[in-house]
Amino acid sequence: MTIPSDYTERVYAGVLGKLIGVYLGRPFEGWTYERLSERFGEVNYYVHEEMGVPLIVTDDDISGTFTFLRALPDYGNRREITPAQIGQSWLNYIIEERTILWWGGMGNSTEHTAFLRLKEGVPAPLSGSSALNGQVVAEQIGAQIFIDGWAMVAPGDPGLAAELARKAASVSHDGVAVHGAQVLAAMEAQAFVESDIDRLIDTGLSVIPADSLIRTMIDRIREWHAAHGDDWRATRHKIAANYGYEKYGGNCHMVPNHALIIHALLHGNDDFQRSLMIVNTSGWDTDCNSGNVGCLLGIKNGVAGIESGADFRGPVADRLYLPTADGGRAVTDAATESIRVANVGRGLAREPALEPKEGARYHFELPGSVQGFMPDESPDSRGTLRLENVAGHSTNGSRSLALHFSGVAAGRVARAATHTFIPSNEVAGYFEQRGYALLASPSLYPGQTVSAELEADAGNGRAVEASLFLRRYSAQDDRLTLVPGPSCTLEPGARHIFNWRLKGSGNEPIAEVGLAIDSRERTQGTVYLDYLTWSGEAKAAFSRPDGPPDRRRRTSAPQMWRRAWVNGVDSYDSRWPEAFRIVQNRGRGLLMTGTREWRDYVVKSAVNLHLCAAAGIAARVQGMRRYYALLLCRDAAGNGVASLVRALDGDTVLAEAPFAWTYGESHTFSLRVTGSRLRAAIDDLEEPLFEVRDEALDGGGIALVVEEGRVMSDEVIVQP
């Protein structure tokens, strides 16, 4: 496999196309063609405001696409990855009943059914087989909606894309559902090197059996398209009559929706907006179908193709959510995820990874990218700023983010910021109500150092004051509070580098980081943000900010400090006096915070083992089944044991020793990770109980751990 010269930009266009398609189709998912035609005539643009819903949403189409692909880097970017390994990634990143999937129940939701099989120990591909789950369940749409990532890591190699798609799809699906996924994956992979839609369809058909229902259906749709010309509604009528929902069982079958994707690609005349209009106005599983169409056309025609019609990119501003058990990556952006996808593809091709601007988090190197930065809408800032991705003005790259400011004067400041955590408690609550919770940890913490480089345009009329700032949730009432950072006087043409070591409490999560431009005299001009990033380890104490709850009070207690912990246990709420009271009914549960970028640190907590089979703390947490844990548990004879465990495709005991403990006792756990060295202590923190070396996990967050019972803690500390 050869990496095309424009590979990363085409991946970015594919990611954008996927997001735009999903956001466009999500508000009316499941509507019929008749209802959509009556309400909108044609769906040519976003209708979220008319429908009273957010534009940027948590959605299984997005979360599954960019999460299940992590199996490749987690297992060494090997082409030989197995369905069983992809299934292990499901168990690691999915939090049962809360993230990624539609949790419709056994036999009702295909993905939920497969997850339960995996959890019971049934390996993939048996977990998704028709033999185990029945043909109707196995042939629903999920295999298709999650497939784009597997295509984007195989540019110009449709055979590899189809094989990866088969393995990934078989975790939860079988039969024609897998065939449909393979067709799309092969088409998208070939779209990196082929521009003709008909030849792409031929490529897709070449990777599935000649007698597949998918092949027969596509052949008929091509005939109808040839007969009806531009009359896409006539072809849609034929599809409904021959391959409609009433002919295929289940809640959302692959066959009818795959038909609409091919239909839109043929009748769309290679136009991004028209193709999305057709696939959305046609109804059924609109966000899924629209996401696949958008991704394929994004790859094929690049960013220019997306921008040939209405402005779909501006309102999105690259934003997306990936709620998983790896919470520090939940609030992210299209450019960041595109680099990650492209680096998986480069890894498969044994090419070195890309690290734009030496790995800066916000680098703006992809054309038009703003990476979630948006003008501030506060009263003193509204209307002062326009953002634009431009070429140049970078010392270690080719592009930057231009902040065009006007009307800045005393009392009027231009600000731009991007989210590092959940936008608000209300937004998080909305997502929970619709079944796709936004579980997330902040990506930025106290103790870390924020760095940014900027340049004033040489044509600016006067010097301005430039400064960094952040917003954090108040520990008293969850209000977003602005925290000013370092500032400088920026003369026309001058550059400046900021380095800001953050202070603060772990119970006031950082929600935004950004740049402000101020002046005592009215002025206008441009400042270029070359990059913004952060480094170092967190230094924070996490505890209840408001004291024990008073049940007589009817005012709502602050919640964002709690939301900063990803909930992977059966019960975790704020009704109790302890900061953290967690309950797990069966198996092992984790309450997690932090990011995959944390490397070398110590985590400490005094944990009360009220009633449990085992409990303790974890470091370098990368999900529900990838971490190091220091636990108190019992051996087969019922004797107390201290154990240092590596969780990775099952538990490996790295060290253990007798340790007497009883229910109701509190013990102080400490686990330090430095390079490959792990140092663990219980109660006597100066004297290590275990010192071992292990290189399996090089980074990740922290967690409280409980098995089958209840434990409590008032504080968790992390520090370098």
Q: What's the CA gap between 15 and 279, in Å, rounded?
A: 18
* CA angle (81, 566, 563) in 5-degree steps: 150
pLDDT of residue 266: 98
Q: What's the CA gap between 529 and 456, in Å, rounded?
A: 9
Q: What's the CA gap between 564 and 546, in Å, rounded?
A: 16
Q: What's the CA gap between 413 and 70, in Å, rounded?
A: 41
For residue 668, give every residue at least 6 positions away whose Cβ sits within 8 Å of its Cβ, in sequence order, or none: 604, 605, 606, 607, 682, 683, 685
Structural tokens at position 705:
């751990």
Q: What's the CA gap between 37 and 408, in Å, rounded?
A: 46
Q: What's the CA gap between 647 and 616, in Å, rounded?
A: 14
Structural tokens at position 237:
């009528």
β partners of residue 497: 453
With tokens 């609550």, the residue in question is 429
Q: Are 505 and 540 in contact (CB under 8 A)?
A: yes
Q: Identify the three-state secondary structure at position 537.
A: coil
Nearest CA to 675 out of 699, 702, 643 is that of 699
Q: What's the CA gap between 363 and 692, in Å, rounded?
A: 38
Averaged over successive runs of 10 residues, the pLDDT of the chain (720 residues) comes to 94 98 97 96 97 94 97 97 98 96 95 97 98 97 96 98 98 98 98 97 98 97 95 97 94 96 97 98 97 98 97 98 97 98 98 97 98 96 97 97 97 97 83 84 98 98 97 93 97 98 95 97 97 97 78 64 96 90 97 98 98 98 98 95 97 97 97 98 93 98 98 97
Residue 113, H or E segment: helix 110-119
Radius of gyration of the chain (CA): 26
Q: Are 72 and 81 in contact (CB under 8 A)?
A: yes
β partners of residue 709: 584
Structural tokens at position 280:
């959305």
Q: What's the CA gap between 573 and 483, in Å, rounded?
A: 29
Q: Which letter does DSSP use for residue 476 in this model?
A: T
β partners of residue 385: 405
Burial of residue 524 (number of CB atoms within 10 Å: 0-12, 13-18, 19+): middle
For residue 287, give every residue at least 6 positions away whose Cβ sits within 8 Å of its Cβ, in sequence order, or none: 21, 22, 23, 24, 25, 26, 29, 59, 61
Q: What's the CA gap between 286 and 288, in Å, rounded?
A: 5
With tokens 């592009």, the residue in question is 399
Chain-centre distance for alpha carbon 29: 21
CA-based max dimension of the chain: 81
Q: Are 630 and 642 in contact (CB under 8 A)?
A: yes
- Ordered DSSP codes for 219-250: HHHHHHHHHHTT-HHHHHHHHHHHH-GGGS-S
Structural tokens at position 104:
């419709």
Q: What's the CA gap between 174 and 554, in Å, rounded?
A: 52
- Ordered DSSP codes for 160-173: HHHHHHHHHHTTT-
Residue 687: phi, psi to the nearest 5? -115, 110
Q: What's the CA gap between 399 and 397, in Å, rounded?
A: 6
Query: 3: how many CB neighbours lie within 10 A of its CB?
Result: 17
Q: What's the CA gap between 629 and 334, in Å, rounded?
A: 33
Domains annotated on the chain, with CATH = 7-321 (1.10.4080.10), 357-424+436-536 (2.60.120.260), 565-719 (2.60.120.560)
Q: Are 702 and 593 in contact (CB under 8 A)?
A: yes
Nearest CA to 200 out of 220, 185, 216, 221 is that of 185
Structural tokens at position 49:
């405001």
pLDDT of residue 554: 41
Cα distances (Å, whole numbers) of residue 30 to 25, 79, 104, 408, 491? 9, 36, 15, 47, 55
Residue 616: phi, psi to the nearest 5? 165, -145
Nearest CA to 232 out of 189, 265, 199 is that of 265
Structural tokens at position 72:
């490749």
Nearest CA to 298 out of 327, 325, 275 is that of 275
β partners of residue 633: 641
Cα distances (Å, whole numbers) of residue 277 to 25, 198, 379, 412? 10, 20, 37, 41
β partners of residue 262: none
Q: What's the CA gap between 460 and 464, in Å, rounded?
A: 9
pLDDT of residue 550: 57
Type of residue at 45: Y
What's the predicted TM-score (pTM) here? 0.96
Q: What's the CA gap between 703 and 132, in Å, rounded?
A: 35
C-alpha distance across the termini of the chain, in Å: 42
